[in-house]
Amino acid sequence: MLHKQKRLKVKYLNSKGKMIKKYSRYLPYFLIAVMLIWHSVLYAQQMRYPRPEFETQYTYPEYQYNYQRAPYWEYLDVAVLIAALSITSWLVIKKRSRQGIMWVSVFSLAYFGFYRQGCICAVGSIQNVSLALFNSDYSIPLSALLFFLIPLIFALFSGRVFCAGVCPLGAIQELTGFKKVKVNPKLEAVLGAIPYVYLGLAVLYSAVGSQFIICRYDPFVGIFRLGGPYTIIIFGALLLITGIYINRPYCRYLCPYGVLQGFFSRFSWKHLTITPAECRNCRLCEPSCPYGVILPSDNLKNTEVTEIGRKMKLIYGALILMMGLSLAYFFYNTAPLLARMDKRVSLAREIRLEKEKGIKAVSEAAQAFNESARTEEELFEEEVAVINRFRAGAPWVGLFLGLSLGIRFYRRIIRHPRTEYEPDRGRCVSCGKCFEYCPVKIKTE
Amino acid sequence: MKFSENQIRLFRNLSVVSGIFTMVIAFTMIMSLIQLKTSDPLEDPALKSIIEQFDKDPENADIAENVRSLDLIARKAYFAARWQLETGSYLLLAGAILFVVFQWLSTGQEKSARGKLPPKPQITEEKERSKKYLIVFSSVFFILAVISSFALRPLLPAPGEAKKGIRSEETGKASAVLPVPDGINYPNFRGEGSRGIAGGEGYPTDWDGNTGKNIKWKVPVPKFGKSSPVIWGDKLFLTGAEGSVFEVYCYDKNTGDLLWTGTGSDFPGASKDVPETDEESGMAIQTPAVNKDAVCAIFANGNLVAYDHNGNLLWAKNLGMPEHTYGYTSSLLIYNDILLVQYDSELRLSVIGFDVKSGKQLWETSRRGKPVNSSPALGMFNGIPQVIINGSPEVTAFDVMTGKELWTINGVVNDVAVSPAVNNNFVYVSANYEALLAIKPDKSGATVGWSDNTYTPDVSSPAATDEFLFISDGTGAIACYKADSKEKLWENYFNSSFYASPIVAGGMVYFLDRDGVMHVVKASATYELVSESSIGEDTDSTPAFSEKRIYIRGEKNLYCISAD
Amino acid sequence: MEKRENNIKSRREFFRKAGRITLAVPLLSIPALLAKKAYSEVYVWQIDPYKCTACGLCKTSCVLTPSAVKCTNAYEMCGYCDFCPGFLRQGARAYDTGAENQLCPVGAIKRKFVEEPYFEYTIDEELCDACGKCVQACSDFGNGSLHLQIMHGLCVNCNQCRIARVCPSDAIKRVPADVPYMSKDLNKSITRKGAAQTKKTES
């Protein structure tokens, strides 16, 4: 192999006197090279072919970029949200108008659902908040934060009015549920536990920066957008068809935001009441609620209600704590399994399987990894880091699930007998279907 | 609002009709969706097979017409499905709204009948039940926790896992050894890994090109070039160029028959430009590289081609005309399935990894400094196979698999043209009148082990074993250093100068000078000249060694030297 | 009895009030915690063309069919090649617009003669379905001027982009809505390179 410039240097040995001539030949190239170095940054891209120098009057075409609606419109959404919540609160608590709530539902479905296409949504905002709380490098869009907070603030004042008619997911089910099939209370209780798990996992997956599972499995977004992954559209359609008979299945058996709404609604300042005045225990309202959340007054005949002693309360407390801690420990152990849903972990697993067992890694991610400059060490380190994040987060999910289930039982153990018919504040979505069943009317001036 | 019986019946019927309508639309939509997502009309096997046919017979206008019409049908089907989805979704929405409204109107009027009410719940019963559940669930969860600790704990990474993972990685990589020169294949410039060491033994030491002694065969090479021969199996590859025509040659290494000639200048995207360089070196200055699948060749204007062993073009591209004052000269290097290209241009200074079979770019890493004329060499330090580049001013190593920069150190600056010599401990680089450096890569980077300036090879690249470092230079000097110190074991001078790189083979070192005379010296601590043989023709190319034969490219001819 | 009833009621009221206050605390502390991090600008999703490997998942993973991702040509990088590898399939014999020579499965790339030997390539967005075949070919064999971008006239700006979730090279990220496109033209590459260099000198 020969290297030209070297030859120049050794020319003095087999000198034929051409050296100076040779050098001067390169001078213009050298100057050009110096000039080009100046531009070298410009061409650092893979410019295999030079930019054409057009001789005709050719001008570069405009980029075909187009733009979305102006960004500040998101604040209109917040304003609409506040207005809709205020109107619904008034309709639920003061006006007691089922008709009105229905019209708000129609509006919300049209605006938040079909016009805004199901995004921005309070249900999904849980994930933005949890990601922002546990990750210093993520900053949350202000509108998402407001969409998370405002409905909860309203829940603290007037119950789940957001669910009643503002949430587009609730609205679409509210408008399509016109038959009432009662669900067995035991089944209802079992299915009703799913949202807690869903909430726990959604917070976990977003807190560790893995993925937004609520958005991934949002059943109605495909319907709002009139398109999308067909598995989700079919799931949404099935849910809606079910909802005709078993009303609001998503709200009752899936919605994670409903769990939070329930917490706040339990302690709300005002809440929907079945009767505008005093309950006569006529039992007329009993079949009116499709969700089975009307708590009947107790049959107190032949029963002696006994107070529970301090000692028993301590035992129950210990049991609840045990439930929480057991589940926390269970989830701690499950963390690596939960982490497998993470794409970084599943990629690392795929690469490791390829290395150890010779199973060819074929996924797009594996191909992209092989093309990238990342090393396997980096990938495996990241995998361990992700699993450790899951390990740190998962016990809290378990603790939350155990404690909330325990407290649910405990509340029933210590509860006082009811003398009136009242809605279960945690589960009632303030739809107002019970209004017209109550025979008690107050005279309005 | 109150409706009459008739009206309600009408609403009910209308709702049934709109319901059926919605169902039909939904069904067709789902079908189109599935069709779009699963069986892509654009991936139609019929279309694919006819295109294959067309490739075999590209002149056939009928097949071309067939492709066009089938393509049109496929596209029409695709866009029809898309149109169905778009319109279908609006129809679906309309149908659903109608259905809901009519259902609402027809059933919303009926108050649900007051059926038989269940007995009121007994508060004490409920309390007892709750107590029972509390106890049951807490014990169930406890058991679950205990079981999980046995069943799932092993999945948890141990606290020190992150470090352990890396350690096991290292041992895993250590088993990935560099290919050892095997005596048959001579795949790159300066042999396996471009390290100046040939496998096998029993190579001839005595021949004469003028009398034909021990010259097995001699064939003229069609076009001029300074590139060196490379060998895979029974095939020998060379490149040559004249004007703007560049060629790749494949010879039978046993007979000297030219098996096939491939173009390096006539393919879509090829550059026809010929950079103005020294006529003496020409366009075919880079040595090709070969592996079991392909032979790859690059030319001074950035044309890069890959042929399979039978002369079929696998892929070809132009990397862009290198802006290089002295011309672009770096030879190719193949490690397993990765083609490594040291690309030297004022506009783009980098090292690129390509997939040998497909030509797909795997990675590209920028380098710092200015263009040089050295070629890359393969090394293995810290268990990582790496491509080492003698740049100006840095000597840098890149991970062969990923292109990640592994270490870098300031080396030589002026007119860098010598490729690095690599053994298991050191990387040796040199530049004329500057220095000969022994660089020792370690865990944290690299340090200069020793340096000397008595001999500073300028064109000819040194060769290193773990014991010795052999150099030859443009002044006609040859020398041997101890590999791990600057101690010179022996030195000698000849009348001619050296451009070809020395090769260590079968216990000898072969120094080929510019007049075509091979000086064979024992590869030992004391100087022992074994023989001096001439091919009778000037040469600047490095010889190739395979199966007891030496292949030398002279100015015009290719020689096979064999003692049998 | 009456008294006991009242007792219960007032106790219940008390609990409710206490609960309300305890719940209000986290409700107020969340915005307090996030106040510094919440931003009022709006962000949108975009593909970093320098990370994109044109794997084709943009075509199949978007919530929209066809995808909101489209191919664009950075004209100032384009070589206007006669043998455009993004337009012609590999192995095409003739450099013309015949269907048998085209790479794009939907025929979305339009070829227009400019002057000898240059051709202009534009993309018909109506047709493009973001399969990325041309992008891959252009970056492997051409100048790399063809690249994929999320078109904001189509994108519905999901809370988490469905493509980002599966993107193997993490190329999809949020960018300010004021500069919603990451064009691959030459000016951009200066800033990128400049940024990379300053980073290196800092560290």
Instruction: Convert the pLDDT of each residue in B497-545 to its tens digit.
Output: 899 999 999 889 999 999 999 999 999 999 999 999 998 898 989 999 9
Residue A9 pLDDT class (50, 70, 90 cuts): very low
pLDDT the model gives residue A27: 52
pLDDT, position B158? 53
Entry field: residues in chain C: 203
Q: Quickly tell me which residue has 């690309």 as its tokens.
A: B343
- Indicate if A102 and A248 belong to the same structural domain: yes
Whether the CB-CB separation of B380 and B466 falls below 8 Å is answered with no
DSSP string for C130-169: ---HHHHHHHHHS-S-EEEEE-TTT----SS-HHHHH-TT
From the list B33, B54, B74, which residue is nearest C100 (CB)? Answer: B54
Q: How far apart are CA B399 and CA B403, in angstroms?
A: 5
Query: Which tokens is B477 given?
Result: 């000097």
Contact A228, A219 (CB under 8 A): no
Residue C199 is predicted with a pLDDT of 33
What's the pLDDT band for A33 if we cut at 50, 70, 90?
Answer: low
The verdict on a CB contact (< 8 Å) between C37 and A140 is yes
Using CB atoms, which chains have 3+ pairs under 8 A with C? Answer: A, B
If one compares A161 and A368, the residue with the highest pLDDT of the two is A161
User: Are A349 and A428 part of one and the same domain?
Assistant: no
Q: What is the rounded distance in angstroms from the CA atom of residue B342 to the CA atom of residue B558?
A: 27
Does A6 score more than 50 pLDDT? no
**Domain of A241, in residue numbers:** 75-282+424-437
Q: What are the angstrom distances between the C-alpha of B372 and each of B241, B273, B322, B348?
A: 22, 21, 12, 12
Among B336, B393, B332, smallest CA distance to B367 is for: B393
CB atoms within 10 A of CB A443: 5
Question: B285 to chain A nearest CA, in Å?
Answer: 7
Count of pairs with CB atoms under 8 A, one residue in A, one in B: 272
Q: What is the pLDDT of residue A424?
A: 92
More confident residue, B104 or C29: C29
Using pLDDT thresholds of 50, 70 and 90, give the confidence band for residue C195.
Answer: very low
SS3 at position A411: helix
First-residue to last-residue Cα distance in chain C: 78
Please give the pLDDT value at position B105. 80
User: Could you tell me how many helices (H) and strands (E) chain B has, helices first?
Assistant: 5, 32
Confidence at residue B429, expressed as pLDDT on a 0 to 100 scale: 92
- Restricting to C residues 69-98, those with a Cβ less than 8 Å away from any Cβ of A are 70, 72, 75-77, 79-81
Q: Give the Cα-Cα-Cα angle B180, B181, B182 (nearest 5 degrees).
A: 105
Q: State how far the Cα of A281 lies from the Cα of A292, in Å rounded to an integer.
A: 17
Left, alpha or beta for B104 (phi > 0: left; psi -120 to 50: alpha)?
A: alpha
- Is A298 domain-assigned? no
Tracing tokens 């600057």 back to the chain, one arrives at B486
Nearest-angstrom CA–CA distance, A327 and A399: 6
Could you tell me which of B408, B409, B460 has the C-alpha nearest to residue B431?
B460
What's the ipTM? Answer: 0.79
Residues 6+ apart with CB under 8 A from A429: A160, A163, A164, A170, A248, A251, A258, A291
**Using CB atoms, which residue from B162, B169, B363 is nearest to A371?**
B363
Of A46, A67, A139, the CB nearest to C143: A46
Return the higher-pLDDT residue of C203 and B269: B269
C46-69, pLDDT tens digit by residue?
Answer: 998 888 888 888 988 888 878 899
Residue A123 lies in a domain: yes
Same domain, A178 and A271: yes
Q: Among C83, C100, C107, whose Cβ lies nearest the Cβ of B67?
A: C100
Residue A316: inside a domain: yes
Residue in chain C closest to A75 (alpha carbons) equals C40
Closest CA to A147 of A165, A127, A173: A127
Query: How close is the nearest chain B Cα to the Cα of C111, in Å?
Result: 17
Confidence grade of residue A371 (pLDDT, cut at 50, 70, 90)? low
Tell whether omega for the bond before A52 is within 30 degrees of 0, i.e. cis: no
Q: Give the type of residue at A92.
A: V
pLDDT band for position B167 (50/70/90)? Answer: very low
Whether the per-residue pLDDT at A302 is higher than 50: the answer is: yes
Same domain for A226 and A314: no
Degrees, nearest 5: CA angle A12-A13-A18: 40
Residue type for position B453: N
Is 0.80 topped by the overall pTM?
no
Establish if A209 belongs to a structural domain: yes
> What's the rounded Cα separation, in Å, for the pair A144 and A149?
9
| B45 has a chain C CB within 8 A of its CB | no
- Do A213 and A236 sit in the same domain of this protein? yes
Looking at A18-27, B23-32, B343-352, C148-157, which range is the least confident one? A18-27
- Crossing angle, helix A194-207 and helix A256-266, to 10 degrees? 110
Residues A406 and A432 both lie in one domain: no
User: Of residues A44 and B177, which shows the higher confidence score?
Assistant: B177
| Contact state of A33 with B37 under an 8 Å Cβ cutoff | no
Residues A168 and A235 placed together within one structural domain of the fold: yes
pLDDT of res. B228: 93
Residue A326 within a domain: yes
Do A244 and A149 reside in the same domain of the chain? yes
Taking an 8 Å cut-off on Cβ atoms, the answer to whether A6 and B161 are in contact is no
In chain B, residues 146-185 whose CB comes closer than 8 Å to chain C: none
Beta bridge partners of B218: B559
Reported as half-sphere exposure (CB side, CA atoms, 13 A), residue A98 has a value of 15
| Residue A369 near residue A376 (C-beta atoms within 8 A) | no
Query: Is residue A413's pLDDT more than 60?
Result: yes
Which region among A89-93, A141-145, B29-33 has the lowest average model confidence (pLDDT)? Answer: B29-33
Q: Which residues in chain C are closer than 8 Å to A125, comparing Cβ atoms?
A: 159
**Residues A101 and A177 occupy one common structural domain:** yes
Across the interface, of A41, A212, A263, the residue whose CB is closest to C193 is: A41
Examine the domain organization and report whether A428 and A405 are in the same domain.
no
Residue B235 forms beta bridges with which residues? B232, B252
User: Is A153 part of the contact surface with chain B (CB cutoff 8 Å)?
Assistant: no
Max mean pLDDT range (A346-355, B25-34, B218-227): B218-227
Residue B218 pLDDT > 50:
yes
pLDDT band for position C137 (cuts 50, 70, 90): confident
Q: Is C177 on the interface with A (CB under 8 A)?
A: yes
What is residue B318's predicted lDDT score, i.e. its pLDDT?
Answer: 83
How far apart, in whole angstroms, are the C-alpha atoms of residue C88 and residue A423? 69
Instruction: Provide the token pair at A429.
Output: 């979505």
**Are the beta carbons of B51 and C100 separated by less than 8 Å?**
yes
Helix boundaries (H) for A62-165:
73-89, 98-108, 122-134, 142-158, 161
Give the mean pLDDT of A14-38. 46
Q: Which residues of A touch C76 (CB under 8 A)?
A: 51, 60
Mean pLDDT check: name the lowest of A88-92, A100-104, B272-276, C190-194.
C190-194
Burial grade of C172 (CB within 10 A; 0-12, 13-18, 19 or more): buried
Instruction: Tell me which H or E stretch contains B489.
Output: strand B488-493
Where does residue B277 rank: exposed (0-12), middle (13-18), buried (19+ CB within 10 A)?
Answer: buried
Q: Which residue has the tokens 């999320």?
A: C150
Check residue A71 and give its pLDDT. 58
Count of CA atoms in the C-beta half-sphere (13 A) of C38: 19
- CB-based contact B201:B549 (threshold 8 Å): no
**Three-state SS at A373:** coil
Task: Give C33 to chain B, closest Cα distance, Å.
Answer: 31
Q: How far apart are CA A156 and CA A262, in angstroms?
A: 10
| Among C167, B335, A363, CA closest to A354 | A363
Alpha-carbon separation of residue C197 from A37, A41, B348 (angstroms): 16, 11, 15
Inter-residue contact B18 to B99 (CB < 8 Å): yes
Q: What are phi and psi of C176, to 5 degrees?
A: -60, 145
Record the tokens describing residue A110, joined without a space.
């049209």
Q: Do A187 and A270 reside in the same domain of the chain?
A: yes
**B444 HSE (CA, 13 A, CB side):** 1
The total number of structural domains in chain A stands at: 2
Q: Which amino acid is at B324?
A: H
